[in-house]
Structure 1
């Protein structure tokens, strides 16, 4: 191991020169491995060795030894810029080159100013940002298969400068791969944070390159920096993710990106409008030609992707030069695009740019514009209507829950004022496009959720709002077929169940015409021919179970509909939800169970659920089926004990069949409880035997013994929650 002391105590300059030569050859050998070998394991080991070598060299105090890492960085730069490269040089994300740069950066002593890392980052940022320029053509000197060439000069630790005629896109790919590796290293995150803004600008511009290899490297760099700057999988729809950085915080930290985003969005919206023939300024609603994806500005989607993952803005107005609100008009223009995915992404990006105090005003303006588009008072077509409806949706879904008290009251007032406008956008009579109608219904869904779950404080106003939502034509209208109608009908199905769930909380009349009509529609949707409608209804019933089972839906009617769904459903997603709901219904006490079910029905249901669990299908479906079967079997035993059925002949035959079901149920649960099974299956075994109370109600000693053997197995499980 090399230390400063060994250098001072070494006698004679010749010995020091020999040590320096050995160390230099060792470093050159490690770099040669990293430059030439394409094996990831070899690169990993060589990079660890280079890190251990460079660290002590930088602490020796000897100028010659301290200069070696800088010479190696210069060599790494020359290798990336060398001429006559081919496609094999950039395979495996440039193989060992990124490892070499990480090794040099991580070897610098902690607590001292970093020198190698900033020099390396700036060098390779410059290489990656050097686009094709003047020089030889594709067949000129150094052109070959690599594309056009450019002249570049970089200072070196040992030279006045290096002038190379190099290929333009192979060095860029190397540089992008190396930057991605350095940015992705958690140990260097603090030291590289100063280069985040430059790196993101480089990545976004890289999407415009004509070479796929450069675009691929840029996408790798982009995804790495989005994780570093905003957070890993920090999507606002995921409740378990950590709170997102707000848009105002983002631009305060990375101020250079505000002007960059603005310039790029201006160019993107201009090109978008030109390609689409003027959008909603045309009398006929805009050009009806489909816009090819290649004509969308390459910077547009990456920028919208960043903005859509930010939290809501905290800055008011546009007075601040870095205010996110300044970008909102540009993003709103993208909501007129022909591409459905682009309109959705633009609307999601618009939400973080709206200041809290402007949310109610923005809602009013968008609702009035949507009504004008729906009624034909304003031209723009279905795309513009869909974009406006999508913006309304995200305002209520993302912005409204975080508003201050006064702003929440203003938002409720804005919703009440424009509910009629929103209802017209949901109407089949006025709007022929089902996708635009579905977004308007989704906006109504989130508006009802916001206004009726606490934002509105006046009880009478709540009831009036609920009645207004429940009386919308879309909710009470007749469903019908057609292209894209499934999305609209699924959105209506969610809204119907949600309004039933809100009914008791707002004090609405549960026996009135509106509530009865909603119940009938919800039960009808459970039997719909469209899988999307059935699934949307089932999922909404499950999410609002606590509100619905106590009065929103009749347990007997729901039980009958769920039994039909379990028996006839062919899609595993809807079947899983139906099984979970049927299992939850069986947890009622005996008095409630007896009102809508009998022991024989519960036995039949348990047998059907067990048959699903025995099929080698989806794991999630099998776990839900086993848990449901256990709860149904336990409910059948409970209800049988409570009602004392004595119909001897039929009862004896049913008991024999049911004993076979119980035995198979215990065997399957014991199998699922084994340590080699995945956690969802082990949890379903616990739910089937013990959470349901089935284990203590099993009629035979052998069944109870097998159940408790399974319990002993589960008590040794590695999952803390399962053992508890």
Structure 2
């Protein structure tokens, strides 16, 4: 009863738009944070994690700074409660992760919530429009999703599969904000099985323009190149083998070599394209026979 009352107070309301009217909400968020951090409660607190996550993500959209601050602290505590204390210095380490199947089986209410929130956030992404639109909860959503990875048991008919999230994550790569594009690229990696990396990378590369033009969207190009780069690095770390012959990646890159030349006036996308080439031609991943065009 206490948890339900606290979560109800922590949820945003249309009546709470000023500092004075949000005082109970801030206190509820802070008390929830203390309860989720208390290890003595053990598994007894797990049934309330889904609603706590909803309160944290929705609270971050509040116009009141105190609510956003308390929501951020609650979100951080919930990430630790769900995935465990961070192991190692690498913030993007593969430790402290779980499969999407396990995550959404434990917290089924979060599946439709996170998917709908990500869809809403992705719809606000603009690129090269002169106007930066950033959904308040986008960073939190990408942080949660980057902690998941697909299960070998997931199929196309799986009700808890991660595939529905992928188009929206890719869409976030078009953002005019550099940090958003980078986070979207990192969040995409866990959603792609190692066996699907070559085909996914090839599809992404084929989305890049074949030649310069007045309508080129460099934010979109950069976001796509970052997704390609992080997928290749993940493939390099996980498979320890070269890309399969005939994947078409080398030929697709060769057709878009203008991105690495002075024809490309954007140094950010030029540098990202060169990073992709270096990754492909490095000692651990190299282009195989039939894809010699890029290396030449």
Q: Same fold (TM over 0.5)?
A: yes
Question: How far, CA to CA, are the matches of 1:307 and 1:330 in structure 2?
Answer: 11
How has the CA–CA distance of structure 1 residues 183 and 239 changed in structure 2, closer, same or farther, with 3 Å as cutoff? Answer: closer
CA contact (8 A) 2:36 2:45 kept: yes
Deviations 1:337-379 (A, max 9, x none): 1111111111111111223443221111111122xx2524895
Cα displacement (A) at 1:414: 5.4
- Count residues with an aligned counterpart: 294
Q: What is the 5 A alignment of 1:431-446?
A: 431-446=264-279
Q: What's 1:358 paired with?
A: 196
Matched, 1:387 2:233: no
How has the CA–CA distance of structure 1 residues 425 and 220 changed in structure 2, closer, same or farther, with 3 Å as cutoff? Answer: farther
Question: How far, CA to CA, are the matches of 1:470 and 1:179 in structure 2?
Answer: 56
- Partner of 2:165: helix, strand, or coil? helix
CA contact (8 A) 2:100 2:149 kept: yes
How has the CA–CA distance of structure 1 residues 462 and 327 changed in structure 2, closer, same or farther, with 3 Å as cutoff? Answer: closer
The one of 211, 218, 223 equivalent to 2:76 is 223
How has the CA–CA distance of structure 1 residues 464 and 356 changed in structure 2, closer, same or farther, with 3 Å as cutoff? Answer: closer
Q: What is the 5 A alignment of 1:161-560?
A: 169-233=22-86, 237=90, 242=95, 244-272=97-125, 276=126, 279=127, 286-287=128-129, 289-291=130-132, 295-370=133-208, 373=209, 375-376=211-212, 379-399=215-235, 401-403=237-239, 411-413=243-245, 417-423=248-254, 424=257, 426-449=259-282, 452-453=283-284, 471=296
The unaligned stretches of length 5 or more in structure 1 are 1-118, 139-144, 148-168, 280-285, 472-724
Structure 1 length-normalised TM: 0.37
The one of 103, 109, 120 equivalent to 2:2 is 120
How has the CA–CA distance of structure 1 residues 314 and 448 changed in structure 2, closer, same or farther, with 3 Å as cutoff? Answer: farther
Deviations 1:390-430 (A, max 9, x none): 11011112245435x9xx67x43256x32243351652234
Question: How far, CA to CA, are the matches of 2:215 and 2:110 in structure 1?
Answer: 35
Cα displacement (A) at 1:333: 0.8
Question: How far, CA to CA, are the matches of 1:440 and 1:312 in structure 2?
Answer: 27
Deviations 1:657-701 (A, max 9, x none): xxxxxxxxxxxxxxxxxxxxxxxxxxxxxxxxxxxxxxxxxxxxx
Superposed CA RMSD: 3.1
Q: Kindly indicate whether structure 1 or structure 2 has the higher relative contact order, using CA contacts under 8 Å at least 6 residues apart.
A: 2
Cα displacement (A) at 1:233: 3.2
How has the CA–CA distance of structure 1 residues 228 and 448 changed in structure 2, closer, same or farther, with 3 Å as cutoff? Answer: farther
Question: How far, CA to CA, are the matches of 2:88 and 2:151 in structure 1?
Answer: 16
CA contact (8 A) 1:363 1:392 kept: yes
Q: What's 1:45 paired with?
A: none
How has the CA–CA distance of structure 1 residues 129 and 351 changed in structure 2, closer, same or farther, with 3 Å as cutoff? Answer: same
How has the CA–CA distance of structure 1 residues 362 and 241 changed in structure 2, closer, same or farther, with 3 Å as cutoff? Answer: closer
- Give the ranges of 4+ consecutive aligned residues of structure 1 lying more than 6 Å apart after TM superposition: none
Question: How far, CA to CA, are the matches of 2:105 and 2:168 in structure 1?
Answer: 20
- Partner of 1:413: helix, strand, or coil? coil
CA contact (8 A) 2:50 2:107 kept: yes
The unaligned stretches of length 5 or more in structure 2 are none
CA contact (8 A) 1:316 1:355 kept: no
CA contact (8 A) 2:222 2:269 kept: yes
